[in-house]
Amino acid sequence: MTKYYSLAVATSYWKPGDNYTEKIIHALEGKVENGDFVVVSEKALSTALGCMLDESTIKPNMSARFIAVFWMRFVWGYPFGIMCGFGQRLLQRLRMYPEESGSRHKQVAIERAGVLQALTFGSEGGIDGSNLPYSYVSLPLRDPRKLATNLQQKVLQKLKRNVCVIIADTDKTYRFRNFYFTPRPNPLKGIQSFGAVVAYIVGRGLKLKKSSTPLAVAGCSLGAGEALSITNIADRARGPGSGATVWDMAARFQVDINCVTYEMLSKIKHKPIVIVRNNIPRNH
């Protein structure tokens, strides 16, 4: 069995317009070796690229309000949440799902990802508000493969290290034997994306093994199974940042969910990059 060593690399909080390439090169200098896997957070890249949306500007329709007020509170707050093994704190939060901000979020999910994604709990279609300020949400990258290739080439050019770059999302991929599936759209080849809310409930309800989802690989050839193993190791090393959900983030700063600021987020240690190395002794 392959052993892996991981190192989560802390950086400053990436804001829209930041030169993420320079930040990554600087963070990796002196730490990365030939053959390493460099796993980069999709959300951090989306934020730096300004691939975001301010939900306070959105006007929800009746469908979005129905999902927020009824579906999230009474379906996810009770049968679906219990079936998926949610803890009592999360169930209580779902039962008090916010009408206004929640409806705006579900409207964005409907427009950007479709109704089935909007019915999902969490990062609907890759749209996520955790670790972001105010009413902003990050949107999925349009071309993660191109970004991964550019980053891999920059590391080779600047640091003279031939690495494998993986861009990953914290949304989960579930494993059933050699079959991998996720509610997240556009995962790495070899991972099936279908069903949205159905895939989420099946994966969680059956307590299948889960990993964060690789979206693109550049610099090496990886099968879906190995890529999932690496992104799962990276996810554990990285941690949740300011919080796994918008509620956790707001609770950490003791403010309402739409009142987290860039200044608050900048005080937290962020780890958007993880180096994963194989065949290294555990006590290395």
What pLDDT is recorded for position 122? 86
- Alpha helix stretches (DSSP H) within 33-143: 42-48, 62-66, 81-83, 88-95, 99-113, 115-118
| CATH classification code of 4-50+143-278 | 3.30.1330.100
**pLDDT tens per residue across span 192-216:** 999 999 999 999 999 999 999 999 9
Helix (H, G, I), strand (E, B) or coil at 220: coil
Domain ranges of the chain: 4-50+143-278, 53-138
Run of H or E including 10? strand 4-11
Give the residue carrying structure tokens 């929640």.
102
| pLDDT beyond 90 at 114 | yes
- Residue 209 makes CB contacts below 8 A (sequence gap 6+) with 174, 175
**pLDDT tens per residue across span 25-71:** 999 999 999 999 999 999 999 999 999 999 999 999 999 999 999 99
276 strand-pairing partners? 6, 37
Give the residue carrying structure tokens 């006590």.
283
How many CB atoms are located within 10 Å of the residue 154 CB? 16
> In the structure, what pLDDT confidence band is assigned to residue 280 with cuts at 50, 70 and 90?
low
How many CB atoms are located within 10 Å of the residue 56 CB? 12
**Token couple for 230:** 């690496």
Query: For residues 227-239, b (16+ Cβ closer than 10 Å) or e, as one string?
Result: bbbbbbbbbebbe
Give backbone dihedrals phi and psi of 245, rounded to 5 degrees, phi first.
-130, 170
CA pair distance 154, 45, nearest whole angstrom:
15
How many CB atoms are located within 10 Å of the residue 260 CB? 25
| pLDDT beyond 70 at 281 | no
What global pTM score does this model have? 0.93
CA pair distance 61, 75, nearest whole angstrom:
20
Helix (H, G, I), strand (E, B) or coil at 107: helix
